[in-house]
């Protein structure tokens, strides 16, 4: 069974601090996605990681992929309130097939 597990599911962090969200998946894949969702809104694509060792950065967010460990991380640097949202990872298997989503990590950045 294909499983994608994120942890933590809830994260409250102070502004200016660093933290990492983890995404483990059960079956080998070479594509991993990170999405952001604001309350009441749709999903916004953040990163698509396509190969082992891939690293992508956008502002205070950096995502990496280790296909051998079946692990992706989303690292938050010097958090700001605007990063408060729910973050989903998802794994792709095969072309033009549905993604398998984790349950999401609800991030709250507090002053």
Partner 1 sequence: DGGITQSPKYLFRKEGQNVTLSCEQNLNHDAMYWYRQDPGQGLRLIYYSQIVNDFQKGDIAEGYSVSREKKESFPLTVTSAQKNPTAFYLCASNQDRDNAYEQYFGPGTRLTVT
Q: Which residues bind partner 1 (CB under 8 A)?
A: 31, 33, 35, 40-45, 48, 50, 88, 90, 92, 95-99, 101-104, 106
Find how far residue 109's CA is from the centre of its chain: 16
- Please, which residue, 43 or 71, has the CB nearer to partner 1? 43
Q: What angle do CA 52, 35, 5 make, to 5 degrees?
A: 65
Measured from the CB of residue 64, what is the shortest distance to partner 1 in angstroms? 17
- Please, which residue, 43 or 80, has the CB nearer to partner 1? 43
Distances (CA, A) of 21 to 1, 18, 30, 97, 105: 23, 10, 19, 25, 8
- Please, which residue, 97 or 111, has the CB nearer to partner 1? 97
Measured from the CB of residue 18, what is the shortest distance to partner 1 in angstroms? 25
**What are the two backbone dihedrals, phi and then psi, of residue 82, each rounded to the nearest 5 degrees?**
-60, -15
Q: Which residue has the tokens 């280790």?
A: 66
Measured from the CB of residue 88, what is the shortest distance to partner 1 in angstroms? 7
Measured from the CB of residue 91, what is the shortest distance to partner 1 in angstroms? 11
């Amino acid at each position: 069974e294909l499983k994608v597990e994120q942890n933590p599911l809830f994260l409250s962090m102070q502004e200016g601090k660093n933290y990492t969200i983890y995404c483990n998946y059960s079956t080998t894949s070479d594509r991993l996605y990170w999405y952001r969702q604001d309350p009441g809104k749709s999903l916004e694509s953040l990163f698509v990681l396509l190969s082992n060792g891939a690293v992508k950065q956008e502002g205070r967010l950096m995502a990496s992929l280790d296909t051998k460990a079946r692990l992706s991380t989303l690292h938050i640097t010097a958090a700001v309130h605007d990063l408060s949202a729910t973050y989903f990872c998802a794994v792709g298997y095969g072309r033009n097939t549905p993604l398998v989503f984790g349950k999401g990590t609800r991030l709250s950045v507090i002053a």
